[in-house]
């Protein structure tokens, strides 16, 4: 696991940057914060900047962890019972949101979807009672089956950033990397062709569109991946179906997991790794697992036609 543990001195250096950004802009949802996030991030400790820069440019691993940020369990308060945020300007875990957003801004720019969770930039991943049996980030009783995040969209994030605030039952975030698979070129060949239909997953309930694309792309000897069998059509031709099942089986065999601890940020390379979550028994009493999530793109311009304004972060 590609991992950095911040030292006490590095935390001392990061905290004033986080607090200044928060006191000036109030929240990570503020357009002013999003515009300045990269500039603030330039003041984070150099070792951290260098670590994330290498993760972005050298692709040494499909996931990485930034550990050591202090989370005060009493100060952040109980785990929310819903993803909708309270109306107050600065929620209790606002500093943690800023730290996650600043780290993410070293990999790219944060963005959100108009058809997902009211377009929030930083989302709470918490078990919601009414979703307990749903295949959603807010579910719990069902395993969240591995997937590329937002696989249906060409504008999907290059990275997903997760920050753990609380995980008392050590529920793993699961993942499998295409880099760990030795593909048989013949069996994998159909995966490089646009023979697959991607549909919106249940986290985009009002979207009805779809895209036809390949599952693998990029360098044939070290491909990138776009795959979410749960939200894809079963191909009608047998060759494409067999290739899809072959890759799914290989990913299943490589699936591993990391149980994040409070203060740990996990960055997932959404082009290399599929991710999910194990099932768990939620209590719904304010003590449940609580993660924050952001979407990060390396190139905002790709989605320019779907955003209202050059600096807009909401993709319609």
Residue 120 Cβ, how far from Fe ion at the closest point, in Å?
A: 15
Give the 3-state secondary structure of residue 298.
coil
46 is in an annotated binding site: no
Q: Give strand ranges (E) for 214-300.
A: 216-217, 224-225, 256-258, 265-269, 273-277, 290-297
Instruction: Find out whether 58 is annotated in a ligand binding site.
Output: no
Nearer to Fe ion, 21 or 64 (CB): 64
Q: Does 201 bind Fe ion (CB under 5 A)?
A: no
Closest CA to 266 of 188, 173, 192: 173
Shortest Å, Cβ 157 to Fe ion: 10
Beta strand segments in the chain, E: 2-5, 63-67, 109-113, 123-125, 144-147, 159-166, 173-177, 196-198, 211-213, 216-217, 224-225, 256-258, 265-269, 273-277, 290-297, 314-315
Closest CB 274 distance from Fe ion, rounded Å: 9
* Eight-class DSSP state of 313: -
**Interface with Fe ion in residues 247-286 (CB under 5 A):** none
With contacts defined by CB under 5 A, name the span among 53-61, 90-98, 148-156, 296-304 that binds Fe ion: 148-156
Give dist(CA 101, CA 14) in Å, integer.
Answer: 13
Report, in Å, the least distance between residue 13 CB and Fe ion: 31
- 261 belongs to an annotated ligand binding site: no
Question: Judged by CB under 5 A, which of 10, 149, 201, 269 binds Fe ion?
Answer: 149
Residue 124 makes contact with Fe ion by CB under 5 A: no
- Residue 147 labelled as part of a binding site: yes
Q: Whole-number minimum distance, CB 204 to Fe ion, in Å? A: 12
Which residue is closest to Fe ion by CB?
149
Applying CB under 5 A, which part among 28-36, 120-128, 149-157, 215-223 lies near Fe ion? 149-157
CB 286 within 8 A of CB 92: no
Nearest one of 69, 36, 38, 51 to 3, comparing CA atoms: 51
293 is in an annotated binding site: yes
Q: State which residue, 95 or 149, has the beta carbon closest to Fe ion.
A: 149
User: DSSP string of 11-46?
Assistant: HHHHHHHHHHHHHHHSSTTSHHHHHHHHHHHTTS-H
Judged by beta carbon, residue 95 or residue 124, the one nearer Fe ion is: 124
Known binding residues are 147, 149, 174, 275, 289, 293
Residues near Fe ion (CB under 5 A) are: 149
């Amino acid at each position: 696991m590609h991992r950095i543990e911040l030292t006490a001195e590095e935390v001392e250096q990061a905290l004033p940057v986080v607090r200044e950004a928060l006191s000036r802009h109030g929240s990570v949802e503020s357009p002013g914060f999003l515009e300045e996030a990269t500039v603030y991030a330039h003041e984070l400790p150099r070792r951290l900047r260098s670590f994330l820069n290498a993760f972005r440019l050298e692709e040494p691993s499909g996931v990485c962890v930034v550990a050591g940020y202090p989370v005060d369990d009493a100060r952040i308060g109980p785990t929310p019972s819903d993803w909708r945020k309270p109306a107050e300007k600065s929620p209790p875990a606002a500093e943690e949101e800023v730290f996650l957003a600043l780290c993410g801004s070293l990999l790219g720019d944060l963005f959100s979807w108009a058809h997902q969770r009211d377009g929030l930039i930083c989302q709470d991943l918490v078990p919601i009672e009414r979703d307990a049996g749903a295949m959603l980030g807010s579910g719990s009783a069902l395993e969240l089956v591995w997937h590329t995040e937002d696989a249906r969209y060409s504008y999907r994030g290059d990275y997903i950033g997760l920050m753990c605030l609380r995980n008392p039952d050590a529920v793993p975030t699961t993942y499998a990397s295409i880099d760990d698979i030795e593909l048989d070129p013949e069996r994998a060949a159909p995966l490089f062709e646009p023979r697959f239909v991607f549909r919106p997953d249940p986290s985009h309930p009002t979207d009805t569109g779809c895209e036809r694309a390949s599952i693998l792309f990029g360098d044939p000897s070290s491909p990138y991946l776009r795959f979410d069998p749960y939200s894809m059509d079963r191909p009608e031709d047998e060759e494409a179906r067999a290739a899809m099942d072959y890759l799914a089986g290989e990913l299943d065999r490589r699936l591993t997991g990391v149980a994040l601890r409070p203060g740990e940020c996990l960055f997932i390379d959404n082009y290399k790794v599929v991710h999910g979550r194990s099932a768990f028994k939620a209590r719904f009493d304010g003590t449940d697992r609580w993660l924050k999530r952001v979407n990060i793109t390396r190139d905002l311009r790709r989605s320019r036609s779907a955003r209202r304004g050059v600096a807009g972060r909401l993709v319609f």
